[in-house]
């Protein structure tokens, strides 16, 4: 019945003029599934945006999916009407893959409120200074790792991001290379971003047999039992390490020892969700931060002139006898502009995390049914040519005024990269600080160049993107 009623695009209660937003025609049962490329959904969404405009309505296996391509519409719905747009689509997949305790997947309700209170207690903007020692230690490790083995730069980026977060969350110091905890987290999170991309859970909920794919076969990444086991290890291993330290009489001061605020939930539920919260700090933060750093390296390799200008600014402010520190940030607008342009040029979560609507609504003459999945197309918003002329070019100076100071205007507000309304990323202040300190230090110490072939000629780097929850 739901499929039939949704296929009638103009059917809002008694008012036949109220239609769903525009979108491509859909096929019976599978709807628009074939309109989305599994390899590159971001490109499909961009093509649909060009054809259908700021809101595109799709039907994917019975779900109404609205892709929002305009920042102002995303703000109207997800921020101004956040009371009814702060849910998350609930797929059976989350429980069967053991991810029903992870903050981004929780629906709008008490467990999610507990997670957000814990985030507010531990990661508010005014607490961010307390994380600086861990972030600085991780940067020193990054610089030293890169000097000793530059070819493993992407592994070092991940170790940096994990190190800052594991130290803050579990008071755990990562080893420079092949850290056992980092390895467990890395292998699980690689599958995680694919399994929980905006589209995969919809496909898995209509084809649940895919969860049984034998792990050794192609598609084995979908095996739910294997993934659940990996999740359990990722959730419990840091707590076991903490407990062992406590048993040995060593104290720890970190997010995982934070007192839990009062709640009506049972102790078992609180324990379950507290572990989920801690895992979400790592899960939300490590991949996003390290992947943004990898995008930074790509852009530096392709834009040597940007490195030269940034280094000149760092030398002028910091000199050559010490490394950049957080206190130098305001005095280096160009480095700030580079960091912002990296995040704009390729937002690491290009489709955000889908929201869902909890009531029927109307917007701009369109009907938005309760339970719609709302995908904010952040990549499209960050490439809006009216705000960012020549959007595909890497131009840090777009964030600078004629006198070289940072512009402070609507155009330069990049907060949407971190999502919207009540579900906005709670790790954004932490991420922003980690990325800045890493970028400033990398620019101060290294020059990034294209690799050379046997004839010592530079070989142009051609990026290939992965597509999942992050890219
Ligand atoms: C460059 C770095 C990062 C980017 C671009 C980013 C982006 C995002 C986006 C787009 C969302 C979805 C917001 C929405 O639903 O509207 C999100 C959610 C989330 N992020 Fe981040 N994030 C980053 C770093 C971090 C860090 C460092 C942490 C943890 C320390 C973190 C933890 C989370 C969590 C827990 C959520 C789910 C919030 C909820 O559902 O209520 N993120 N992030």
Write the pLDDT tens digit of every residue in 87-103.
999 887 788 888 899 99
d(CA 429, CA 409): 19
Q: CB neighbours (10 Å) of residue 150? A: 11
Cβ atoms of 421 and 82 within 8 Å: the answer is yes
Q: Kindly give the distance from the C-alpha atom of residue 58 to the centroid of ligand 1, in angstroms, as a whole number.
A: 25
Measured by CA distance, the residue closest to atom 6 of ligand 1 is: 418
Q: Kindly give the distance from the C-alpha atom of residue 353 to the centroid of ligand 1, in angstroms, as a whole number.
A: 8
Interval 381-393 mean pLDDT:
95
For ligand 1, what atom is nearest to the CA of residue 88? 40
Among 77, 161, 418, the mutation site with the greatest number of ligand 1 atoms within 8 A of its Cβ is 418
Measured by CA distance, the residue closest to atom 41 of ligand 1 is: 423
d(CA 109, CA 84): 12
Q: Which residues of 255-291 are buried (b: 16+ CB within 10 A; e: fewer)?
A: bbeeebeeeeeeeeebebbbbbbbbbbbbbbbbbbbb
Residues in contact with ligand 1 by the CB-under-6-Å rule are: 103-104, 116, 280-281, 284-285, 288-289, 292, 348-349, 352-353, 355, 417-420, 423-427, 430-431
Q: CB neighbours (10 Å) of residue 129? A: 10
* Stronger pLDDT, 215 or 257, i.e. the higher one: 257
For ligand 1, what atom is nearest to the CA of residue 354? 15
Would the pLDDT of 7 be above 50?
Answer: no
pLDDT at 187 (0 to 100)? 80
* Stronger pLDDT, 230 or 467, i.e. the higher one: 230
Would the pLDDT of 70 be above 50?
Answer: yes
For ligand 1, what atom is nearest to the CA of residue 165? 30
d(CA 369, CA 371): 6
pLDDT at 15 (0 to 100)? 62
pLDDT at 16 (0 to 100)? 56
Q: Please name which of 380, 376, 361 lies closest in space to residue 424, comparing C-alpha atoms.
A: 376
pLDDT at 14 (0 to 100)? 55
pLDDT digit string, tens, across residues 420-463: 999 999 999 999 999 999 999 999 999 999 999 999 999 999 98
125-to-131, 139, 292, 408, 434 alpha-carbon distances in Å? 11, 21, 21, 19, 13
Cα angle, residue 384 at apex, residues 430 and 78 outer, rounded to 5°: 55
Binding-site members for heme are: 425
């Amino acid at each position: 019945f739901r499929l039939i009623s949704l296929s009638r695009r103009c059917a809002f209660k008694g008012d036949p003029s109220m239609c769903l937003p525009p979108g491509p025609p859909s096929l019976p049962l599978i709807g628009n599934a074939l309109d989305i490329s599994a390899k590159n959904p971001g490109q499909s969404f961009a093509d649909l945006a060009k054809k259908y405009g700021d809101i595109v309505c799709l039907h994917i296996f019975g779900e109404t999916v609205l892709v929002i391509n305009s920042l102002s519409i995303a703000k109207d719905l997800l921020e101004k009407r956040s009371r009814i747009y702060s849910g998350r689509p609930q797929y059976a997949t989350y429980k069967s893959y053991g991810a029903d305790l992870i903050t981004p997947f929780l629906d709008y309700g008490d467990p999610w409120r507990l997670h957000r209170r814990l985030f507010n207690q531990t990661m508010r903007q005014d607490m961010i200074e307390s994380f600086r020692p861990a972030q600085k230690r991780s940067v020193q490790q990054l610089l030293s790792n890169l000097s000793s083995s530059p070819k493993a730069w992407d592994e070092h980026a991940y170790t940096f991001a994990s190190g800052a977060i594991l130290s803050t969350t579990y008071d755990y110091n990562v080893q420079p290379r092949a850290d056992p905890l980092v390895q467990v987290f890395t292998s699980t999170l690689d599958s995680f971003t694919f399994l929980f991309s905006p589209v995969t859970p919809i496909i898995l909920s209509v084809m649940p047999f895919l969860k049984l794919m034998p792990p050794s076969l192609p598609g084995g990444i979908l095996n739910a039992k294997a993934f659940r086991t990996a999740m359990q290890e990722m959730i419990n291993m840091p707590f076991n390490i903490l407990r062992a330290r406590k048993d040995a009489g060593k104290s720890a001061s970190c997010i995982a020892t934070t007192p839990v605020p009062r709640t009506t939930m049972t102790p078992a539920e609180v324990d379950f969700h507290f572990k989920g919260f801690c895992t979400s700090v790592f899960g939300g933060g490590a991949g996003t931060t390290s992947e943004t750093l990898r995008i930074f390296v790509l852009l530096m390799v392709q834009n040597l002139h940007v490195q030269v200008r940034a280094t000149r600014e760092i030398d002028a402010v910091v000199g050559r006898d010490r490394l950049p520190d957080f206190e130098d940030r305001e005095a280096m607008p160009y480095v700030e502009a580079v960091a912002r342009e990296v995040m704009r040029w390729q937002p690491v979560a290009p489709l955000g995390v889908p929201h869902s609507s909890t009531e029927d609504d109307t917007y701009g003459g369109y009907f938005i049914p309760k339970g719609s999945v709302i995908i904010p197309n952040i990549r499209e918003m960050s490439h809006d040519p009216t705000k960012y002329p020549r959007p595909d070019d890497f131009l840090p100076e777009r964030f600078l005024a004629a006198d070289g100071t940072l512009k402070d205007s609507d155009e330069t507000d990049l907060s949407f990269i971190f999502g919207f309304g009540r579900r906005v990323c709670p790790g954004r202040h932490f991420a922003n600080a980690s990325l800045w300190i890493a970028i400033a230090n990398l620019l101060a110490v290294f020059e990034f160049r294209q690799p050379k072939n046997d004839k010592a000629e530079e070989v142009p780097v051609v990026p290939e993107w992965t597509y999942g929850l992050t890219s």
